[in-house]
Chain A
Amino acid sequence: GAVVSQHPSWVICKSGTSVKIECRSLDFQATTMFWYRQFPKQSLMLMATSNEGSKATYEQGVEKDKFLINHASLTLSTLTVTSAHPEDSSFYICSARWDSNNYGYTFGSGTRLTVV
């Protein structure tokens, strides 16, 4: 149980194009999902907190217009990297909290984005 599916697992796109990454909770409802970015050999940096039915909360320094987050349903959150540039190349990971009483988080398998 408590599975989060992230798609695609990897994507290559050209500079200037947009890429959408999906994060789905398969067997539970996730009112809150989190989006992280991970540079090679570095830790995860929280980008934003995605709340179902409302605007996402972005961390300081994260461009809201660059990284569009939509959480339209209790099982789906999407991250769109708009007008991607090579410096946006990274590993993006989503997570969702499935156990509000016991702080259970589950993570997606991540998306490797390469912008050429």
Chain B
Amino acid sequence: AQSVTQLGSHVSVSEGALVLLRCNYSSSVPPYLFWYVQYPNQGLQLLLKYTSAATLVKGINGFEAEFKKSETSFHLTKPSAHMSDAAEYFCAVSDTGGFKTIFGAGTRLFVKA
């Protein structure tokens, strides 16, 4: 069975500061990992995904994540936070068949001016 754990339901950073959202996964097969962002009352938008290619994945809006198998982690980072980054972020894992995606509990990012 696959699962995802997001450490910290809330993260608060100052504008311009580093953003780090943590995600650890559990999977019995090589995982496919995703980060999504959700703004209030909206669907999810894909930020980036790891599908067994490069371990450092660059996504949209300046976000990137690094797949670390030894740590079973896929943390999301952004060097400099913008106010527009304030949203809910979900880490997700999918099996190799790609037919089922399991989401983490989400982390709400607050950005202070």
Contacts and interface: CB of A to CB of B under 8 A. Distances in A.
A9 B41 CA distance: 9
22 contacts: A6-B43, A41-B108, A42-B105, A43-B104, A43-B105, A45-B103, A46-B100, A49-B100, A93-B43, A97-B98, A102-B49, A102-B51, A103-B32, A103-B51, A103-B94, A103-B98, A105-B46, A107-B36, A107-B44, A109-B43, A110-B41, A110-B42
Nearest to B105: A43
Given A103-B49, A107-B45, A43 B90 contact: yes
A75 B48 CA distance: 25
A111 to B, nearest CB: 10
Given A34-B101, A46-B100, A46-B102, 19 more contacts: A6-B43, A9-B41, A10-B41, A41-B106, A41-B108, A42-B105, A43-B105, A44-B90, A46-B101, A49-B100, A93-B44, A102-B49, A103-B49, A103-B98, A105-B46, A107-B43, A109-B42, A110-B43, A112-B41
B106 A43 contact: yes
A54 interface: no
Q: Is the interface of B mostly helix, strand, loop or mixed?
A: strand
A22 to B, nearest CB: 14
A18 B7 CA distance: 38
A72 to B, nearest CB: 20
Interface in B8-50: 32, 34, 36, 41-46, 49
A89 interface: no
Interface in B53-102: 90, 94, 98-102
Interface of B: 32, 34, 36, 41-46, 49, 51, 90, 94, 98-106, 108
B25 to A, nearest CB: 14
Question: Which of A4, A10, A44, A102 is packed against the most chain B CB atoms within 10 Å?
Answer: A44
Contact of B103 (A6, A44, A106, A109): A44
Nearest to A45: B103
